[in-house]
């Protein structure tokens, strides 16, 4: 595992339905999933045994998990679908298109057919969904049959009927196959069904309510009762989806929530009518400040450099938002949440802002307690506010890379991570590599240009630590506390030894120690950051040498390939057709290049 602490995260995860995003290094989205109960679903990923090697590989790369709570599992499905389309996560191999999701379709026909659909879309037909599962689609079709009496038979059956079928006899179809309803009247029923499936239920239900009232006035009580039952059923057939408006609209939903001394501004983005998730922000606030002032400040800064969406829905006075935008020389449609859809968006945004505050508070408490535990364990005068950790990674001396990761205030500060390419040393000499990276890192610090950490962790034993202490002494930083983290027997977590340079014996902390957990997290993050850099460097070197060895790919074609695809990784991921588009690359040569770089993989 990386520095991500799943057990701590799960203790604060909500039990709401919603969507989760597994985030890897550099903010890359690894996987998007939905859950009826987020806590239970996420717990399944962090057990001792997972469902497949693919999932285990994904879990090993997680550095963060983001969640968006929704109002229902159905909403979670739609949001998951939207995010998969927009983010294309690496591990969502089963969800590359909409073929996994069931839809309701109205076919392109003079008398459109109401049908269950799963698969690719056909031009001219209309599709409604996706739905949580096939049962909800079939139940919806059954109800729509009763209300609108649209045909469900295949075209082959429709074209060869000579008399009405059983569905007409039980009042589930108006029998357009034998001309018992005109195309115009059937189109009116199709229009009502379409309005309902688009979510414009009020128009449909109001019409049925008027018909029910008219039937009651005529003393046709059985007809009125049937219409009443239809209205009730229609109100239940489709849950209102607050993550898909059914309109091609771009909306930013803004709210601010204050709780336990923290203010969270949450931006929910609706693009093309689809909810694309939330972005909670935690501004730095000096003194007391209202949520309205914080939100207005966010709006001023956020939209100063970014284009405005078609509409902004804000949880504060719309006039104030417009005034701020006008001061930036910009105008937008700004409104308070009035429609049910808009109220649903704001409610979701506020709920997710509250969850973000709870998660941040839990992380802050955990960080403070772990830093205090580390201070006591190492005998420091105060908790180390800034910790830097170093690791070396190579394969038999090839492509040596050193990493430096930073932990500030008990949290990893990824923006300050650095990698160092190690050169001009004997391949495989870890001591020389450690000397080089520490010298390069702290020469500027010693001259006053840079931040001096409160503690340095060295991933290694006494030899690596001794090298670090030599470098610090040479640079005039001998007072800088440094500790080596030696792997335990069998490299098992919990058996690490802390090595000191002042003559103290190695320290073995309890596997339950909060101090050890912090050290492990930082050390593991340094290892992960080093090894990913090493693998990338090694892979590029090996691909580059392969490219040079391919017959027919000289310097000119090699430069053209690298320029076209933006580097070696791009060349390797290109298809044969992509390679053919490069000047001077024939299909035969493209197939040869593709085969050499991918090892024949398809």
**Number of neighbouring beta carbons within 10 Å of residue 260:** 8
Average pLDDT over residues 161-172: 88
More confident of the two residues 284 and 93: 284
Query: In 3-state terms, what secondary structure has residue 218?
Result: coil
With residues binned 3-state (H G I as helix, E B as strand, rest as coil), the percentages for the chain, rounded to 5, are 50, 20, 35
Euclidean distance between CA atoms 386 and 405, whole angstroms: 11
Structure token pair of residue 267: 């931006």
The pLDDT of residue 494: 63
Q: How far apart are CA 468 and CA 480, in angstroms?
A: 10
Give the pairing type, strands 455-459 and 386-395: parallel
Residue 214 phi/psi, 5-degree rounding, is -65, -40
Domain with CATH 3.30.420.340 in the chain: 251-335+351-358, 386-528
Is the model's pLDDT at 52 over the cut of 70? no
Each residue's pLDDT tens digit, 307-327: 788 899 999 889 889 988 888
Comparing C-alpha atoms, which of 102, 124, 114 is closest to residue 158?
A: 114
98: Cβ contacts below 8 Å, ≥ 6 apart: 81, 121, 130
Number of neighbouring beta carbons within 10 Å of residue 275: 28
Task: Kindly report, residue by residue over 76-92, the tens digit of the pLDDT.
Answer: 877 887 787 777 787 76
Both tokens assigned to 365? 């408490």
Model pTM score:
0.43
**Chain segment 10-25, per-residue pLDDT in tens:** 888 888 888 999 998 8
> Distance (Å, rounded) from C-alpha 173 to C-alpha 153?
10
What is the rounded CA–CA span in Å between residue 92 and residue 372?
40
What is the phi/psi pair of residue 59, to 5°? Answer: -60, -35
pLDDT grade for 471, boundaries at 50, 70 and 90? very high
Residue with tokens 């890359």: 28
CATH superfamily assigned to domain 386-528: UvrC, RNAse H endonuclease domain (3.30.420.340)
Fold of 6-96: GIY-YIG endonuclease (3.40.1440)
Superfamily of domain 251-335+351-358: UvrC, RNAse H endonuclease domain (3.30.420.340)
Under DSSP, is residue 399 helix (H, G, I), strand (E, B) or coil? Answer: strand
For the cut 60, the answer to whether the pLDDT of residue 287 exceeds it is no
The two structure tokens encoding residue 103: 């839809």
pLDDT greater at residue 271 or residue 176: 176
List CB contacts of 333: < 8 A, sequence separation 6 or more.
Answer: 310, 311, 312
Taking only the tens place, the pLDDT of each residue in 104-132 is 889 988 899 999 888 777 888 888 766 65
Provide the percentage of residues in the chain whose pLDDT is more than 70.
Answer: 87
Residue 405 burial class via C-beta count within 10 angstroms: exposed 0-12, middle 13-18, buried 19 and up = buried
Each residue of 505-515: pLDDT tens digit?
Answer: 989 888 888 88
Residue 310: helix, strand or coil by DSSP? coil
Pinpoint the alpha helices (H) of 494-586.
514-549, 555-565, 568-573, 576-580
CA atoms within 13 A on the CB side of 458: 27
Rounded mean pLDDT of the chain? 82
Q: Which CATH architecture has domain 550-598?
A: Orthogonal Bundle (1.10)
- What integer pLDDT is reported at residue 427 of this predicted model? 82
pLDDT score of 97 more than 90: no
Instruction: Give the sheet arrangement for strand 64-69, strand by strand.
Output: 29-35, 18-23, 64-69
- Report the C-alpha gap between 192 and 207 in whole angstroms: 9
Q: Where in the chain is the domain with CATH 1.10.150.20?
A: 550-598
């Amino acid at each position: 595992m990386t520095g991500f602490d799943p057990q701590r995260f799960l203790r604060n995860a909500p039990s709401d339905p919603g969507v989760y995003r597994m985030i890897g290094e550099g903010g890359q989205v690894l996987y998007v999933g939905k859950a009826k109960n987020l806590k239970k679903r996420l717990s399944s990923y962090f057990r001792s045994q997972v469902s497949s090697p693919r999932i285990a590989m994904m879990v090993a790369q997680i550095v963060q998990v983001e969640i968006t709570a929704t109002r229902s599992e159905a909403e979670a499905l739609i949001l998951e679908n939207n995010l998969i389309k927009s983010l294309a996560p690496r591990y969502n191999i089963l969800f590359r298109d909409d073929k996994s999701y069931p839809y309701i379709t109205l076919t392109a026909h003079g008398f459109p057919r109401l049908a269950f659909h799963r698969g690719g879309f056909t031009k001219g037909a209309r599709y409604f969904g996706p739905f949580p599962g096939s049962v909800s689609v079939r139940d919806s079709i059954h109800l729509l049959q009763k209300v609108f009496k649209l045909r469900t038979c295949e075209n082959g059956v429709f074209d060869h009927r000579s008399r009405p079928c059983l569905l007409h006899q039980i009042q589930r179809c108006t029998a357009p196959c034998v001309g018992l309803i005109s195309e115009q009247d059937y189109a009116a029923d199709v229009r009502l069904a379409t309005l309902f499936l688009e979510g414009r239920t009020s128009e449909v239900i109001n019409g049925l309510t008027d018909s029910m009232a008219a039937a009651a006035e005529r003393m046709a009580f059985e007809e009125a009762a049937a219409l009443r039952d239809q209205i009730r059923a229609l109100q239940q057939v489709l849950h209102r989806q607050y993550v898909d408006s059914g309109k091609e609209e771009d909306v930013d939903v803004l709210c601010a929530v204050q709780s336990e001394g923290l203010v969270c501004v949450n931006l929910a983005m609706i693009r093309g009518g689809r909810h694309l998730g939330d972005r909670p922000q935690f501004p730095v606030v000096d003194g007391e400040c209202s949520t309205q002032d914080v939100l207005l400040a966010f709006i001023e800064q956020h939209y100063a450099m970014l284009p405005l969406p078609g509409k902004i829905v804000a949880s504060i006075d719309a006039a104030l938002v417009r005034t701020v935008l006008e001061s930036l020389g910009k105008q937008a449609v700004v409104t308070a949440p009035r429609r049910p859809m808009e109220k649903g968006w704001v409610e979701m945004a506020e709920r997710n802002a509250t969850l973000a505050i709870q998660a941040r508070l839990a992380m802050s408490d955990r960080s403070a307690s772990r830093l205090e535990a580390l201070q006591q364990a190492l005998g420091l005068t105060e908790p180390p506010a800034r910790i830097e950790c170093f690791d070396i990674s190579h394969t038999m001396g090839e492509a040596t890379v050193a990493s430096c990761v930073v932990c500030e205030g008990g949290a990893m500060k990824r923006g300050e991570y650095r990698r160092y390419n190690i050169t001009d040393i004997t391949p495989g000499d870890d001591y020389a590599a450690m000397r080089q990276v520490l010298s390069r890192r702290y020469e500027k610090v010693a001259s006053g240009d840079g931040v001096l950490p409160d503690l340095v962790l060295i991933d290694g034993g006494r030899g690596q630590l001794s090298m670090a202490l030599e470098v610090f002494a040479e640079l005039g930083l001998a007072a800088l506390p440094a500790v080596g983290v030696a792997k335990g027997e069998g490299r098992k977590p919990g058996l690490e030894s802390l090595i000191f340079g002042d003559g103290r014996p190695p320290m073995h902390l309890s596997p339950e120690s909060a101090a050890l957990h912090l050290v492990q997290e930082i050390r593991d993050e340094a290892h992960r950051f080093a090894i990913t850099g090493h693998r990338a460097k090694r892979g590029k070197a090996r691909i580059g040498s392969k490219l040079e060895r391919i017959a027919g790919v000289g310097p000119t074609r090699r430069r053209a390939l690298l320029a076209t695809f933006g580097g070696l990784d791009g060349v390797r991921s290109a298809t044969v057709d992509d390679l053919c588009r490069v000047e001077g690359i024939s299909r035969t040569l493209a197939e040869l290049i593709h085969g050499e770089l991918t090892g024949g993989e398809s």
